[in-house]
Amino acid sequence: MWGDNAQQNFACWLFALFETSDDIHHVLVYPLEKELLKPLLERWMKSNPEDPRPYRWYDGFFNTEKRVDYLKQQ
């Protein structure tokens, strides 16, 4: 399994694609979101709270009931 640094690099690459694509719903499937991306971004926000990227991506790409909480942390 990849370490957090490699996973963060992958997330940066993937979200850069999402930010420029109109059809992310074909790629951002629920298992990818639930099993990899959400847990990764949550760990990232806890370990490096001053980095705005995971907050922006979590808020912008995931339907979450905690959206306001993540926006307040940015």
Residue 27, pLDDT score? 82
Tens digits of residue pLDDT in 13-66? 999 999 998 888 778 888 999 999 999 999 999 999 999 999 999 988 887 665
What is the Cα–Cα distance from 65 to 20, expressed in whole angstroms? 25
Q: What is the dihedral of CA 69, 42, 39, 27, to 10 degrees?
A: 70
* 57 within 8 A of 15, measured Cβ to Cβ: yes
Q: Report the 3 state secondary structure along 4-25.
A: HHHHHHHHHHHHHHHHHCCCHH
* 40 within 8 A of 8, measured Cβ to Cβ: yes
Total-model pTM: 0.79
